[in-house]
Structure 1
């Protein structure tokens, strides 16, 4: 898994908090506003390729041929519908902004969306003002020596087997983590190349660049 590869990317802005979250546009990005994410893009003076939602958060329906209005009563929330559109467009890398905020249930659903993306063979990450979240499934992720900050890992599987952390302040070797423990909370980069690997299972990784407890 190479989080720094650059395939065509889908960037989605949701209704949560995205102020202060760094976004560097790439040529070829597909930019989608999910409901209230439309205002977030307007604040950044960015024009979305698509706008999707029931617009209960935004409070009005934007005008344009690229606007898709969906019912309020539906199985998938607006941000998930935006993800599906990105997948249909052939995107295999996703950056989700405004995917966390005041409602924990929506934030957690968006974490589950990261797992859904990885199961579809896509790379997804949630970007907040001070953190980046991503999911890894039975694979390895490498970090350069220049990486700084803290990170935490949690098992989204009932059991994640063969979890190994190297180059971090608190290493692990071939450890089993369960969904009922927090052993992976608050690890740290140490100025050397680091890696996380899991032989069989699903991990949520939360990486904080400048987080202070």
Structure 2
């Protein structure tokens, strides 16, 4: 099962969703205004989450009159709409969760959405945040293969724990072998693959990988 969550971030930063709608068991979820974006883009989400304070009364009626299972909440609550939607998605044990419309706009929301990736570390699902210029994912220690992707020229690794140890990069323009990365260090920013594929590995800590383009 594949689940895609679309939030109400700036629509200009949401990529074309059609290439991602390939699996027959694909579930779309709208978060607040992201629900309206999906409907206007020709997608019909099975579920919607939010307080819907970012849509007008007329737009809210469009959502409520659709066949979507709407989960509406009060604005005053202890979790964001995105967190609630992500928690539901994780309970479905999907193979992959893609999150759109979660970057740009309010910086506090963007940073919180990235931090929500910590909630996904205990599951096997491939979870990524995507916009028109970036793909963001969080990783535990291990060895990973990475393929060259024409959409993203640069690959950066940021320490999301106090320290990441034993980083080894193979197939990259700037290789590393058993290096350590401290939180706040820019050592692994703006690297590039020089081969069609490469590997990255590390022994301890948590890494945020950002694939991006100018």
2:123 match: 120
Matched, 1:184 2:188: yes
Q: Are the aligned partners of 1:38 and 1:58 in contact in 2 as well (CA < 8 Å)?
A: no
Matches of 2:172 and 2:75, distance apart in 1: 45
Report the secondary structure of 2:53's partner residue: coil
Asked if structure 1 preserves the Cα contact closer than 8 Å seen for 2:44 and 2:68, the reply is no
Map of 1:5-24 to 2, 5 A cutoff? 8-19=1-12, 20-23=14-17, 24=20
> Number of residues paired by the alignment?
203
Aligned to 1:188, what secondary structure does the other structure show? coil
Pick the structure with more helix per residue.
2
Q: Is the 8 A contact 1:18 1:97 kept in 2?
A: no
In structure 1, the partner of 2:162 is: 158
Distance 1:102 1:161 in 2: 34
* Cα offset, 1:88, TM superposition: 2.0
Inter-partner Cα distance in structure 2 for 1:128 and 1:43: 18
TM-score (norm 1): 0.88
Displacement, 1:18? Answer: 4.3
Confirm or deny that 1:68 pairs with 2:57: no
- Deviations for 1:119-138, whole angstroms, at most 9, x for unmatched residues? 33332100100111111111
Q: Between 63-72 and 108-117, report the one with greater CA deviation.
A: 63-72
- Which blocks of at least 5 consecutive residues in structure 2 are unaligned? none
* 1:182–1:85 distance in 2 versus 1, CA, 3 Å: same
DSSP 3-state at the match of 1:143: strand
Matched residue, 1:44: 41
Q: Deviations over 1:159-200 (max 9, x none)?
A: 111111110101111111111211111101113421111211
Aligned pair in 2 of structure 1 residues 168, 53: CA closer, same or farther (>3 Å)? same
In structure 2, the residue matched to 1:5 is none
List gaps (5 residues or longer) in structure 1. Answer: 1-7
Matches within 5 A, 1:1-150: 8-19=1-12, 20-23=14-17, 24-25=20-21, 26-60=23-57, 61=60, 62-63=63-64, 64=67, 66-144=69-147, 149-150=153-154
